[in-house]
Structures are given as structure tokens and as C-alpha cells.
Structure 1
């Protein structure tokens, strides 16, 4: 099992993402392109990076100083909990409100109000759960 947000883990997420019509396909319909980073609260930089062009992940791996549109952070124990039980729409809103999931970069409020983006975003947490991690 790969270490959460490692190069190997991020590339497994890339494969899951690109194989998901509910995520890649729906985001392709709206020409969604973005650079997404993930990591842990308190770290100076994110751990992993995920580059999406027109819905498809074209690059994933270790964060190397790239400019990001989204930077999601949480404590490792919360990330691990969400791998076991992926966040849904309501639980994600609660996690953000309670500060368990923090967006260092990106407008969570605007994204969550747009179902064309919010639904695939929430479904991406289930993809993370399919990979697991340590």
C-alpha cells in the first residue's frame, strides 16, 4: 500500500480519476482545468500534486513548487478517516466549517455552490478511498 500523497499514491489516484466517468467525464464536460495540491496541516508546502486539463489528469506526483489553484490540507488522522469513509457533500461542508479540511488556496464556497464541479469533487474522495494509504 502506498504512502498517502506520495508519488506512487498520486499516480494511483490519477489512474482512478481518469477511469471515472463521474469525475473525469463530468469535469471534461465543463472544460475543467486546474492544478490541485494535497498535504498536511502545518507543513510549509503540500505533499502531492495533481494536474487536470479538460477533466483529465495529465500529471501527478510529488509537489515540486508548482503554482497551484487548489491546496487542500488536513491532519493525517482525518485524511486516513476519509479514506475509510469518504466525505459526502454534507460531511465535506462540515469538515471545512470545523476546520478539519482547510483550503490553503482555492475558493471552496464558490466551488461547492456549482454542482458541475462540486459533485465530481466529492466523488474524488471516494476514488481516494479506493486506493487506501498508509
Structure 2
């Protein structure tokens, strides 16, 4: 099993992302384009990054200085918990308010207020669990 957010893991995440209609198709409908990074709170830089165009991941791998629209961070234990159990809207709010999930880049408030983005974002946590 590849390490969480390694290049190999991110490629598996990309495959699962693109296979999930509630994520890829939903984001395609709103013409979602973004560079989304994932990593750990204690690291200066994120580990992995997805490049999303029209809702689908077109590139996945290690973070190498790409300009980011989103940079999501948590400690290893919380990522593992969300990987196993997923995350719902209430859990997301609690994780954000308690700083267990940090948005180093990106506007959490704008995202969470737009159901067209919030629902796929929540879905991404169940997709993480498939990798």
C-alpha cells in the first residue's frame, strides 16, 4: 500500500475521483478547475497535488511548487480517521472550527456555502477511503 499522499497514492486517488459521478460529474457541471494539495499540518509544504479540469483529475502526483487553489492539511491520525470513516457536513464543520482540518489556501466559507461545491467536497472524503 502506497503512503498517504505519495505520488503513487495520489494517482490512485485520481483514478477513484474520476470514477465517482458524485464528485467528477458534479464538478464538471460547474466547470470546476483547481489545483488541490493535501498534506500534514507540521510540514511546510503539502505532499500531493491533484490538477482538476472540468471536474476531472488530469494530473496527480507529488507537490512540486505548483500554484494552488486549495491546500488541505490535517495530522496523520485525522486523515486516517477520515479515510476510514469518511466525513459528513457536521463533521467537516467541527474539523474546520477545531482546526483539525486546515485550509492553508482556499476559501472554506465560500465553498461550504455553495452546495454545488460542498457536496462533492464531502464526497471526496469517502473517495479517499477507496485508495
Q: How many pairs does the alignment contain? A: 131
Q: Deviations over 1:96-131 (max 9, x none)?
A: 001100000000011001000000010010000111
Q: 5+ residue gaps in structure 1?
A: none
Deviations 1:4-40 (A, max 9, x none): 0001110001000111110000000000000000000
Aligned to 2:88: 88
Unaligned stretches of 5+ residues in structure 2: none
**Aligned-pair distance for 1:42?**
1.7
How far the C-alpha of 1:2 sits from its partner, in A, is 1.2
2:54 match: 54
Q: Taking structure 1 as the reference length, what is the TM-score of the superposition?
A: 0.96
Question: Which residue of 2 is the match for residue 2 of structure 1?
Answer: 2
Q: Partners in 2 of 1:42 and 1:67 — Cα distance?
A: 20
Matches within 5 A, 1:1-134: 1-131=1-131
Q: How far apart in 1 are the matches of 2:126 and 2:2?
A: 17
